[in-house]
Structure 1
């Protein structure tokens, strides 16, 4: 299929869905829906069409991207399950395993997680294929993910934990950057320079980490000189148990993602036992 003519429907153009729509709009024909209210004016300005319903969006599309909360997944998929048209579903819904999605929508499913940086095509997307995904369909999804930034295929068992990294990670980074900016303001640095210094430092450090392949501790040690400025700051961070705090944050967010997944799986099993009491596929 010609990449320029691919029709992509995004069901749930909230924070993440809207960011994905913004990333894809220069490259694909995109329509979007939102459960409450209209899609953001910026999306319309970017060329995203607002669909009147999920059914109409799915019926128009070649590929559907589902970006709703876990509790909304089943109602939305049941709404579009009888629609003919889309040949692939990409689900960005946290905690929803592919086997549940496949039973409801009856088309190949790819489960993925991304973050808001995809809005400027600098996101990081991780994905796992469902059982019925062909190589051509995976290639199609990778073309979509490429328009959003970097991406990697992973085992689905890792996606709940990666939700706490790829999905929630920007919130942790923004917290660090805000703290750095506030510290700079305390000693008199102008706000605009403090913001640029913090942001560009984070960008440069991340790019160097990816480019060098070195362990973060090695790169950190290269900045430290005996009795210098950096070790003084690091000492204060260690006093505040910053590394432990971030480790606990990732662990807690991961545990919450797993808890959500177990709840959703339990609901799906109850639903399946009611609709299919004898276990007939």
Structure 2
């Protein structure tokens, strides 16, 4: 069976990770301005090029993974080649309506994922524009499944989810690093401390998703009277860790919304120019 052809425009960190994640099930072409930065993808059998027009012309599905300010000029330059194709945009902030205005004959999906795509464990959220066909949904699901878990959401939530789906790995790495340092402080070997922290996060996450229980309920299953865990919880509460994380999500969400508003205003100007 012939594989669908996917072209990824802007194969940087996320675009390159997507290319690697889906290359077993799709015929993938990746583009970037500097070809030498695509050598790792070429070694995996992914076609690499600097020619966006040619790559898009040959594709069935096009994935856009460039900076927000680059989206509208890029789409304008490729509008003819993108006509009647399924276009999936991973560009932050630029909404479906703006994209559709530039390429009205294309079928648009807007998505957000995270760096865990590199190990096919990403969490991808997406919204579909008008005109998405029944067969498109199957292709969309196949692409996102290769990348990890995925979920369709209302577009209004995508900016806030940038602070969650997109940025959360950074928060968790900060927590894991702090746990490692704490273990080092009391003499645990570094590699053992890292594995203990990382696998604990993985196991706790799987249990949370599979159990259907509230995080507080699972936490209380670990806390015993006069035990070890309650001392740690006391220290975390004294350090206002929950408040810090709530503020982190709030601040990141507000920043994402502000950046989105500014990006959309700039995009409007680019469309009209």
Q: TM-score band, normalised by the shorter chain?
A: over 0.9
Deviation, structure 1 residue 268:
3.3
Aligned to 1:14: 12
Gaps of 5+ in 1: 276-281
Deviation, structure 1 residue 81:
1.0
Distance 2:92 2:37 in 1: 21
- Kindly tell me the number of residue pairs found equivalent between the two proteins: 272
The alignment partner of 1:150 has SS state of strand
The alignment partner of 2:62 has SS state of strand
Alpha-carbon contact 1:54-1:79 (below 8 Å) kept: no
- Map 1:185-224 → 2, pairs under 5 A: 185-224=184-223
Deviation, structure 1 residue 36:
4.3
Aligned to 2:265: 266
Deviation, structure 1 residue 263:
1.2
Deviation, structure 1 residue 85:
6.8
Describe the shift of the 1:40–1:270 C-alpha distance in structure 2 as closer, same or farther (beyond 3 A). closer
Distance 1:86 1:184 in 2: 56
Which of 74, 79, 82 aligns to 1:81? It is 79
Distance 2:45 2:251 in 1: 39
The alignment partner of 1:65 has SS state of strand
Deviation, structure 1 residue 55:
1.4
Distance 1:76 1:271 in 2: 11
Aligned to 2:250: 251
Aligned to 1:102: 100
Which of 44, 53, 56 aligns to 1:55? It is 53
Distance 2:136 2:185 in 1: 53
Alpha-carbon contact 2:6-2:28 (below 8 Å) kept: yes
Describe the shift of the 1:271–1:192 C-alpha distance in structure 2 as closer, same or farther (beyond 3 A). closer
Per-residue CA distance 1:28-64 (angstroms, 9 max, x = gap): 1111112345334322222111122221221111101
TM-score (norm 2): 0.95
Ranges of 4+ aligned residues in structure 1 off by more than 4 Å: none
The alignment partner of 1:5 has SS state of coil
Alpha-carbon contact 1:118-1:149 (below 8 Å) kept: yes
Which of 54, 63, 66 aligns to 1:65? It is 63
Distance 1:74 1:52 in 2: 18
Give the root-mean-square deviation of aligned CA atoms: 1.5
Gaps of 5+ in 2: none
Deviation, structure 1 residue 265:
2.1
Alpha-carbon contact 1:62-1:85 (below 8 Å) kept: no
Q: Which deviates further from its counterpart, 235-244 or 81-90?
A: 81-90
Alpha-carbon contact 1:32-1:39 (below 8 Å) kept: no
Alpha-carbon contact 2:82-2:103 (below 8 Å) kept: no
